[in-house]
Structures are given as structure tokens and as C-alpha cells.
A and B are shown apart, each in its own frame.
Chain A
Amino acid sequence: QSVLTQPPSASATPGQGITVSCSGGSSNIGSNPVNWYQQLPGTAPKLLIYATNQRPSGVPARFSGSKSGSSASLAISGLQSEDEAHYYCATWDDSVNGRVFGGGTKLTVL
């Protein structure tokens, strides 16, 4: 079982927006910034969002992150077919002094 909880799947049509949630606790999301990763089939994960709401160079502004209390969210606007992928949240957990991941959300663009 993952320390962080994500819905296993989500779907939307091209052009729509979608939000992926990530729930944790006081020792992880409640105390630390959140990072998000995108994993396309058969490839290594790619850092999508760091420090809760920052986008690395090259990541489109359609992707945004936020946090409230012990929960975080990844929002994707103007969905495109190439956004179909698995999305993982991650953060640091002070109780284990290590990084923890969510179980991942498979996004389907219908």
C-alpha cells in the first residue's frame, strides 16, 4: 500500500480539464512540498511539477500543481492525446526520513 493515496484512474476528452488528487498526512504532504511525475508507457518517469507548484523548463503551462493541508492536486487543462499517461505524486515523509510516492493515476484521454 502506498503512503500517498491517488485515484487509480481518471478520464476526460480532448480539450477538457482534469484534476488528479493526492492525499497524505501531516508528516508528508502536510509538512513538505509535493512533486508530480508523468510516465508514458515504456519510459522513465518525467518530473512534471516540483515544490508543489513549479514547472521545470519545457513543461507546458497547461500543467499546474497545488496543495491544501495534507492533500495535493495536479490540474491539466486543454487535454491532449499525448497527455495519456500515468501520473504519480511524491513528497518527503518526515516520519521515515525518506521519499514516498502515491500509487499512481492512469489518465485516459477519450
Chain B
Amino acid sequence: QMHLQQWGAGLVKSSETLSLTCGVYGGSFSVYYWSWIRQSPGKGLEWIGEIDHRGRGNYNPSLKSRVSISVDTSKSQLSLKLSSVTPADTAVYYCARSGSATDIFHYHYGMDVWGQGSAVTVSS
């Protein structure tokens, strides 16, 4: 059974870069898309972006200029970097499996395996 384990700094200073990593265990890394999603305190879900094992990605236009999502297929890991953070970026960040990388309609199938979430606070 595939599971995702996240880690990274829980406290980041304003203007610095948030960095998180998600490890994929118990299944094949290279046949899926992988997403990052965040949830601000008391708010709804916001999709940040996604990537496949070849580095093909799609990003939320509102965050695209500050976001970098990358993969390390040798370690079955994906990473998120969000630059120039402000307190508005305080949120729980999730990684999730996001459909088959061989399916041009991968987004039809939802995000079906999620990490445990990483709470990140941006201090002013």
C-alpha cells in the first residue's frame, strides 16, 4: 500500500523560502503525477501545482512565479519550494498522488493518496 511521508521546516521567516519534501513509499513513483496542496488556517484547499517523473508540471497561476516543484526519481521524492513567503503563506501543506502520468486526462481521477500534512508558519 503506497503511502506518502512529508518533512520540512515548520517555521519560516518572511521573505525567505519555504521548503518541503515528500517521500513516496510502497509503490511506483514514475507512473503518476504528484501534487502539492495547501490549506490556510480555517480555510479551504488550494492546489499549488503538480509534476510527473519527467518534470512535466502544471501550476496554480496565482503562485506560479514563486513556486518550484521538482522530483528526485532515484529517491522517489518530490519537493516544493515557495519563495518570498509572507504570513499569508502560513498553512498546512499536503502532497498527494494525482493520477496516471500516462493518461492525458490524469486529472479526471482525483488525488487519491495523501501525505500527513506539514504545518508551516511564516513569521513576520
Tell yes or no: B59 within 8 A of A by CB: yes
Residues 62-100 of B at the A interface (beta carbon under 8 Å): 94, 98
Q: Using an 8 Å CB-CB cutoff, how does the interface string of B8-19 with A read, 1 for contact, 0 for none?
A: 000000000000
Chain A: interface residue count, which band? Answer: 20 to 34
Q: Is the CB of B94 within 8 A of A56?
A: no
With contact pairs A50-B112, A92-B107 given, residues A98 and B44 touching in the complex (Cβ less than 8 Å): no
**Most chain B beta carbons < 10 A, residue from A35, A49, A98, A103:** A98
Distance from A62 Cβ to chain B, minimum over Cβ atoms (Å): 19
Residues 1-53 of A at the B interface (beta carbon under 8 Å): 2, 32-33, 35, 37, 39, 44-47, 49-51
Q: Is the CB of A98 within 8 A of B58?
A: yes
Tell yes or no: A101 within 8 A of B by CB: yes
Distance from B46 Cβ to chain A, minimum over Cβ atoms (Å): 7
Q: Residues of B within 8 Å of A, CB-based: how many?
A: 24
Q: Is the CB of A99 within 8 A of B115?
A: no
Q: Is the CB of B44 within 8 A of A32?
A: no
CA distance A37 to B94 in the complex (A): 14
Tell yes or no: B60 within 8 A of A by CB: yes
CA distance A35 to B116 in the complex (A): 20
Q: Which of B50, B58, B109, B114 contacts A45 (CB 8 A)?
A: B114
Chain B, residue nearest A48 (CB): B110
Additional 4 contacts, C-beta under 8 A, given A45-B45, A45-B111, A98-B61? A35-B110, A98-B59, A101-B45, A104-B45
Q: List 22 A-B contacts (CB under 8 A).
A: A2-B44, A32-B107, A32-B108, A33-B108, A35-B110, A37-B110, A44-B94, A44-B115, A44-B116, A45-B94, A45-B111, A45-B114, A46-B114, A50-B109, A50-B112, A88-B44, A91-B107, A96-B61, A98-B61, A99-B107, A103-B44, A104-B44
A-B CB proximity, top 6 nearest:
A35-B110, A50-B110, A44-B114, A99-B47, A92-B107, A104-B44
